[in-house]
Amino acid sequence: MKIAIASGKGGTGKTTVAVNLAAVIQGSCLIDCDVEEPNAALYLNPKIEEINKVELPVPRLKEDGCSYCGLCARLCAFGAISVLPGSAAGKGTLLVFDHLCKSCGVCMGLCPERALKEELRAIGTVETGNSCYGTFARGQLDIGEVAAPALIRVLKQKAIYAPVTIIDAPPGTSCAMINTINGVDLCVLVTEPTPFGLNDLKLAVEAVRKASIPFCVVINRSMGDDEIIEQYCRAEGAEIAAKIPFNMEMARRSSEGGLLCATGTVFRDYFTHLAEKVQKT
């Protein structure tokens, strides 16, 4: 089963929940899909065995053939090609703006002269390996690149899945997050009991419902009174699968890259219970 750990907002403890869940489930797989800020490795210390460059095909002119008709530029929905027609003075010009290109293939597929070929351009990496808890995979987008959804699609193909696979999703409800949760069996939405947390939880619930994925809620940094979230969950019929209390010691441990479940203390129970619960749903 595939379980995505998501949250409408960053910093709610999504990664903390993901890595600790992966660590209490023996032989699990963790995929870090937060490709702009992949942080799960800081906690699981995996040994990376394979690094793959992720490349996207962008159009380039072949040596010759182009008539500078401009069809490709007109068909490209993203304005990624610009064509200046030739004149008596000389050949035309064709420019490709790589960052705008979504690699849809329209220009290459429909050029009447078959004058465009694909060239691969690196946008980031996908790494796979093992931690002492199971298999591990993560993607990292190069700085300045924007194609997170494309990188995530490759990452999800390359990962070595286990009976239980935990996926750390990108924060928010962006296109990258939707690509991440596409095809998972359950979404765990991590929130915190603040007005920000509630606002962003609502957005996340809207997103998972739109994608028709079952979900449950985890309240992190509970300060005792979580009525703000509980009231909403009651009204929406959403299950609260766990409450993790705020605790200075936990905050410190987590901030220093420690696994909360590795301590053999009360913290561990929060995650073993949560693991049992999510595997039942």
Partner 1 sequence: MKQIVVISGKGGTGKTVVSGALAALAQDKVMADCDVDAPNLHLLIGAEYLEENLFYGGQKAFIDTEVCVKCGKCLEVCRFGSITAEFRVKQQLCESCGYCLMVCPAGAIGMDKNPAGKWFVSKTAYGTLVHARLEPGEDNSGKLVAIVRKAAKEKAEQEGAKYVIIDGPPGTGCPVMAALSGVDTALVVTEPGLSAIHDMKRVLELTDRFKIGAMAVINKYDISADNSSAIRRFCADKGIDIAGEIPFSAEIYGCVMKGRPAVEARDANGVEQMKKIWNNIKKRLQT
Listed in sequence order, the residues at least 6 apart from 235 whose beta carbon sits closer than 8 Å to its beta carbon are none
Decide: helix, strand or coil at residue 135: strand
Q: Are 102 and 78 in contact (CB under 8 A)?
A: yes
Residue matched to tokens 């002119």: 61
Nearer to partner 1, 234 or 252 (CB): 252
Type of residue at 8: G
The contact mask relative to partner 1 for 149-188 (x = CB under 8 A, - = no) is x---x----------------xxxxxxxxxx--x------
| Helices within 36-93 (DSSP H only) | 41-44, 71-75
Q: Determine which residue in the list 39, 52, 60, 102 makes contact with ligand SF4, applying CB under 6 A.
A: 102
Shorter beta-carbon distance to partner 1: residue 70 or 272? 70
Tokens read off for 234: 């009651």
Contacts of residue 268, defined as CB under 8 A and 6 or more positions apart, other chains included, come to: 24, 260, 261, 262
Rule CB under 8 A: is residue 105 a binding residue for partner 1?
yes
Which amino acid does the sequence have at 94? L
Name the region of 33 (left: φ>0; alpha: ψ -120 to 50; beta: rest): alpha
The residue behind tokens 């998501």 is 6
Q: Report if residue 115 touches ligand SF4, rule: CB under 6 A.
A: yes
- 243 lies in the site for partner 1, by CB under 8 A: no
Q: In 9-148, which ranges are E strands? A: 28-32, 47-61, 81-84, 93-96, 116-131, 134-141
Q: Interface with ligand SF4 includes 70 (CB under 6 A)? A: yes
Task: Name the binder of 109 from partner 1, ligand SF4, none, CB < 5-8 A by kind.
Answer: partner 1
Binder among 3, 4, 40, 107 for ligand SF4 (CB under 6 A): 107
Site residues (CB under 6 A) for ligand SF4, limited to 116-145: 116
Residue number, 198 or 274, with CB nearest to partner 1: 198
Helix (H) or strand (E) holding 150: helix 148-158
CA distance 240 to 271: 14
Q: Please give the DSSP secondary-structure letter assigned to residue 132.
A: T
Contact range with partner 1 by CB under 8 A, out of 22-30, 73-81, 119-127, 158-166: 73-81
Rule CB under 8 A: which of 251-280 touch partner 1?
251-252, 254-257
* 8-state DSSP, 214: -
**Whole-number minimum distance, CB 137 to partner 1, in Å?**
18
- Rule CB under 6 A: is residue 86 a binding residue for ligand SF4? no
- Stretch near ligand SF4 under the rule CB under 6 A, chosen from 14-22, 74-82, 233-241, 255-263: 74-82
Per CB under 6 A, residues contacting ligand SF4 are: 59, 66-72, 76, 78, 80-81, 83, 94, 101-107, 111, 113, 115-116
Per CB under 8 A, residues contacting partner 1 are: 8-12, 15, 36-37, 39, 42, 75, 77-78, 102-106, 109-110, 141, 143-146, 148-149, 153, 170-179, 182, 194-196, 199-200, 203-204, 206-207, 210-211, 223, 248, 251-252, 254-257
